[in-house]
Structure 1
Amino acid sequence: MKDLFGQIAEQKDIATGIRILTDKFPGAVAFSTSFGQEDQVLADIIWRNQLPVRVFTLDTGRLFQETYDLMDLTRARYKQPFEIYFPETAAVEALVKEKGMNSFYDSVENRKECCYIRKVVPLNRALQGTKVWITGLRAEQSENRHDMPALEWDEARQLYKYNPLIHWTFEEMTAYLEKNNVPYNRLHDKGFVSIGCAPCTRAIEPGEHPRAGRWWWESSQKECGLHAS
């Protein structure tokens, strides 16, 4: 597979890079979108170029109304289907029964437990049978993403992880959205850069790190576990 890594590393056009992977792994390439700005760029590229990629999202049950509005707007704009994966009902019911609705504020461990139940488990289910997982990660987003390559091997999930926007700047991303009139979450206009669950996301102040609005009560790496190495 050395040739595959080389082809992707040398490829500057995202649509062509995705096409290389869909040709190599037909019917087994999936893109996970959270409907953030990065993901809207990739969704536009995938659907504009009619690439054979399965698109899915995770609904934790605690998303902003603006995120749900964008889901409907995106569906209407592109006329393309995407799958929605929810947490296991029994696991959420047990968590809330034992620790309450907002246990994630009490400790880092509780917060990671909530993320695991509402995000990681559904993601793993969504990726079953997948050979390539496309993400909207960018190196600028957080310190532990700085050294991520465009294509990497996810040992835990036994699949390739393709991060086509990893070297894009924030300015490049927003320029693409504007140029192509791509719909985006209106919370971005109100200071929200990284948007997750409503109870765990706030707008950031000028000069703050882009991920400062996620789990702002913690001094962590601002990760939920979806992209843990």
Structure 2
Amino acid sequence: MPEINEQVEHISYSINGLNEAGALKWLAENFPGKVVFSSSFSYEDQAISHIILKENLPIDIFTLDTGRIFPETYSVWRSTNERYNTHIKAYYPQAAAVETLLSEKGPQSFYESLENRKECCFIRKVEPLKRALKGREIWITGLRAEHSPDRQDIPQVEYDASNNIIKYHPILHWSFDQVKAFIHEHNIPYNPLHDKGFVSIGCQPCTRAIREGEDFRAGRWWWEDAAKKECGLHVHQ
């Protein structure tokens, strides 16, 4: 663990003062073939994808297709591939695990308990993520501090023990207005659901538009305690 902490400190020191593109370029140069970015095609992820693809940085981009995402998400996925002449790689849940879950508990078990919902998230997101991160050393994410109470105090560079990888959150301290302005300034493809009140967009059965005055994550797993609204991809100790 001391070696990991030293590496985290070294990265933090080395990219301090660099802008997002500069920091991503430094990581790509110092960890060749070991840096990967996960995109859900959210506002945040589209902004980071733009930086990576516009600068032609050697950072692989992947997405997790849970099998239950919105048609609009597929649309922005296609638009992104076309705009940047790229092919974002997809990871899918294991078919056997999905078949067993639906056979034993039905197609909407996630509404019935927190345990069931986490089981569904694990099968559709967490397990595919572990495959996507295998052999990598740096995981780029679109996390922002405003997203949830659990993300308020996380460092921009951190060690993720559950996935044995170092994470870098390039736009952690951007405000929502900053992200939105960046998207429009650079004419970046974005999910049209954002224009309909959907802020955080995940699987279709677990996402709704938020109402005026509700917080950012209110539209995700709205039937659960707000303090527990994580799918297991980002676990902070």
Q: Does 1:177 align with 2:168?
A: no
Is there any run of 5+ residues in structure 1 with no aligned partner, and where?
none
Greater displacement, 38-47 / 70-79: 70-79
Alignment partners' CA distance in 1, 2:18 and 2:180 = 18
Structure-1 residue corresponding to 2:165: 159
How far off is 1:170 after superposition?
Answer: 0.5
Structure-2 residue corresponding to 1:227: 234
Which of 112, 119, 128 is the equivalent residue of 1:113?
119
How far off is 1:159 after superposition?
Answer: 1.4
Alignment partners' CA distance in 2, 1:82 and 1:183 = 14
Per-residue CA distance 1:24-61 (angstroms, 9 max, x = gap)? 11011000000000000000000000000010000000
Runs of 4+ aligned structure 1 residues displaced above 3 Å come to none
Q: AA paired with 1:148?
A: I
Q: AA paired with 1:71?
A: W
Per-residue CA distance 1:137-192 (angstroms, 9 max, x = gap)? 00001000001111111122221101011100001101100100001000000000
Structure-1 residue corresponding to 2:199: 193
Alignment partners' CA distance in 2, 1:128 and 1:218 = 31
Which of 78, 85, 88 is the equivalent residue of 1:82?
88
Q: Does 1:45 align with 2:51?
A: yes
Q: AA paired with 2:231?
A: C
Per-residue CA distance 1:112-131 (angstroms, 9 max, x = gap)? 00000000000000000011
Is there any run of 5+ residues in structure 2 with no aligned partner, and where?
1-6
Alignment partners' CA distance in 1, 2:210 and 2:71 = 19
Q: AA paired with 2:141?
A: T
Specify the SS of the correspondent of 2:36.
strand
Structure-1 residue corresponding to 2:222: 216
Q: How many residues end up aligned between the 2 structures?
A: 228
The answer to whether the 8 A contact 2:36-2:136 is kept is yes
Q: AA paired with 1:106?
A: E
Alignment partners' CA distance in 1, 2:106 and 2:170 = 39
How far off is 1:22 after superposition?
Answer: 1.1
Give identity over the alignment, percent. Answer: 53
Structure-1 residue corresponding to 2:10: 3
Which of 140, 146, 150 is the equivalent residue of 2:146?
140
How far off is 1:3 after superposition?
Answer: 2.5
TM-score for both structures, normalised by structure 1? 0.98
Q: AA paired with 1:193?
A: V
Greater displacement, 151-160 / 124-133: 151-160
Alignment partners' CA distance in 1, 2:42 and 2:11 = 28
Per-residue CA distance 1:48-99 (angstroms, 9 max, x = gap)? 0000001000000000000011111111111012110000000000000000
Structure-1 residue corresponding to 2:68: 62
Alignment partners' CA distance in 1, 2:121 and 2:53 = 29
Alignment partners' CA distance in 1, 2:231 and 2:10 = 32
